[in-house]
Structure 1
Amino acid sequence: MRHYLMVRPRYFDVEYSINPWMDPAKPTDTELAVTQWEWLRDLYLDLGHRVDLLDPRPGLPDMVYAANGATVVNGRALVARFRHHYRRPESAAYLRWFAAHGFRDVRQARWTNEGEGDLLVAGSRILAGSGFRTDPRAHEEAAEFFGLPVVGLTLTDPRHYHLDTALAVLADDLIAYWPEAFTEDSRRQLERLYPDAVIASAADAAAFGLNAVSDGRHVILPQAATRLTAQLRERGFEPIGADLSELLNGGGSVKCCTLELRHPPASDPGVQP
């Protein structure tokens, strides 16, 4: 069972542009966004996972992208420090939520750090993106806070402004990614660490297919990523296609809407929410 934190898109809208997917001139449908989000939440519950909710705040239309709010490992929460001023007030809501729900060590990042948007936990390491949002200095901060090695990866394509739009963690030792989103040095690192990785096509990456959530068996990903869906099935996963087309107007999909709350092992005496 996985434990997720989500934020209902009650106030979802595209009022500004902070990534290439956002066009304030394009109409948005908040009711449709809520319907699509509810389908995803209900799917997690049907799969046996736990979903907690953080109340949305008026004036924060991007708050639905909960993955950006923090990174949580072993009950410790490192809350985001957003790059763009539009999203900075979200951090206070996450700090309050974690403090109120028994997490044993909670603090806001010192350096610009957009949570699981750029810090993806992969088994005993963290894959950390930079290039557009998260400050590279946040990588060292995360390593010290969580006590885990951090692998820095540099993004080069503005359409893939967060790591979770170009790479998905499928299991502790397996990822899927689109190599063209990374510098040559970062590609070499990924090839060395994950020689059996699933390599996504340009079309599936453009469809946000890598903005996916895996529980180790099921992989929920945008339904438009058809080739990637077939590749995952060949690897023994059970892919589930999602339609979050309205939320893609803000530059997010399945993973962006899903913050995983990782608790201490059962033998750890620390507080478990």
Structure 2
Amino acid sequence: MTHRAQSAAPAREARRRRYLMCRPTHFDVTYRINPWMDPAKPVDTDLAITQWEKLRTLYLELGHRVELIDPLPGHPDMVYAANGATVIDGKVLGARFRNTERAAEGPAYLAWFRDNGFAELLDPAHVNEGEGDFLVTGSRVLAGTGFRSTPQSHAEAEEFFGRPVVSLELIDERYYHLDTALAVLSDDEVMYNPEAFSPGSRAVLERLFPGAVLASPEDAAVFGLNAVGDGRHVVLPEAATGLARQLRERGFEPIGMDLSELLKGGGSVKCCTLEVREPTA
């Protein structure tokens, strides 16, 4: 009798991360700069804080280091810390926001890094919205454009970080940042929503990541790809049950979170989480 070998999911190992977050003390939706925002819908700031605190507590329980930047009054979107900068090997590329409503956030985040001992900082010349559009894999940076960050900012990031930057065009306004359409799971694994990308960019992703986890339209629509991974655990919106199933099949441990109040501003788990990548030994 012959037995067909079954491929086992690989063993996953978590790596301790350093995150920067911003408490949603002033969270509200008073303007509209993405399709998820509707100033006519009421916002429960206390609930947003409670949901955010649960996310921060989870990171601490998983062994990660979490630091906080003080929120600026009158800047309700500052909770979306991922947009504040991109940090690789201790080098900090600041953010330059497209919308005037968020313009003050870039200098505030850059000042935090300067005040906390980071010496290599760049105040960008071109519009980029931090890790909203720059996602780091093991050997390259995936960079989104189409709605916020400009192609020129991709070249600026490549020159500053000295890493290849792969430009990806977003075509669905609901997924206006790359981190709403794609998540990095490990150095060479991602999950993404094919329908969010132009045909050419979709082809690039298929070549780079032929075994990627693909999100259904239903999971994408609940921001299931706005997720944070540490190599083993993947924290994602709890409503993205299909993605959670696929992740478990591949040996990851998905952890669902309810950030429904913060979704009213167009953000979820990853939007609230800026990874501070320190120099590797």
User: Quick check: TM above 0.5?
Assistant: yes
Indicate whether 1:146 and 2:129 are aligned: no
TM-score (norm 2): 0.94
CA distance in 2, matches of 1:128, 1:69: 15
Aligned partner letter, 1:27: P
Residue 169 of structure 1 is aligned with which of 184, 194, 202?
184
Instruction: Specify the alignment match of 1:41 in structure 2.
Output: 56
Residue 233 of structure 1 is aligned with which of 248, 252, 270?
248
CA distance in 2, matches of 1:107, 1:5: 18
Indicate whether 1:99 and 2:81 are aligned: no
- Contact 2:85–2:110 under 8 Å retained in 1: no
SS of the residue corresponding to residue 81 of structure 1 reads: coil
Shift of 1:107: 1.9
Unaligned segments of structure 2, at least 5 residues: 1-15
Aligned length: 266
Instruction: Specify the alignment match of 1:9 in structure 2.
Output: 24
CA distance in 2, matches of 1:88, 1:172: 32
Aligned partner letter, 2:28: D
CA distance in 2, matches of 1:96, 1:265: 23
Instruction: Specify the alignment match of 1:85 in structure 2.
Output: 100
Task: Give the CA RMSD over aligned residues.
Answer: 0.5
Shift of 1:96: 1.1
SS of the residue corresponding to residue 101 of structure 2 reads: coil
Shift of 1:260: 0.1
SS of the residue corresponding to residue 161 of structure 1 reads: coil
Unaligned segments of structure 1, at least 5 residues: 267-273
Residue 68 of structure 2 is aligned with which of 49, 53, 77?
53
Max Rg structure: 2
Shift >3 Å, 4+ stretches: none
SS of the residue corresponding to residue 157 of structure 1 reads: coil
Q: Which residues of 2 match residues 1-273 of structure 1 at below 5 A?
A: 1-266=16-281
Shift of 1:243: 0.1
Shift of 1:80: 0.3
CA distance in 1, matches of 2:30, 2:180: 21
Shift of 1:192: 0.3
